[in-house]
Structure 1
Amino acid sequence: MKVYGDLQSGNCLKVKMLLSFLNIKHEWIHVNILDGETKTAEFLSKYPNGKIPAVELDDGRYLCESNAILGYFSENTAFLPKDTYLKAKVYEW
């Protein structure tokens, strides 16, 4: 799995931390948004919103937006409660 991001971004850091807490192996690929690296045709073909963090799953699917990524990886773990109110509180992250 590849994760595209910049650790100076809080949203990217949240994803990096969750993957670390869950011991999920990944390749971190630094992306410099100031140099336009999220606006290339190749990046936009995978992530049309042109934002980081972004994930390329091992099966070739793509995820973007930090909350979607966090929700995907935290499902069925202690980081995402089953109780709907508590789950909503988590999504305030």
Structure 2
Amino acid sequence: MQEIKPVERKRSKDSNELLRTFSAFFKEPSTMRMVEVQTGILRPNICRYVARLQKSGKIKLIKFGHCPYTKHIAGFYSTNPAFEGKAQIGLQYGLF
């Protein structure tokens, strides 16, 4: 049986978490905190994965709104292309 080196183990964990993060954002537009609660992945890691997905153009900021968990204004992101046309960027948009 071949032993996995620590670096390879870390890489596979990162790619697994990245896929889980991608899937969580695909279901519905979510904040990073919402994805943390759904998946159990730590928020700093989710922030890193969102930055990586933004660089590759696979995730979009859909709107700003109040996070159901923190009650603060936060960005709602999605990896689903179906939500791209419904982007409501801007805080003033939803106020009126």
Query: What band does the TM-score fall into relative to the shorter chain?
Result: under 0.3
- Structure with higher Rg: it is 2
Report the TM-score, using the length of structure 1 for normalisation.
0.27
TM-score, scaled to structure 2: 0.26
Give the helix-richer structure, 1 or 2.
Answer: 2
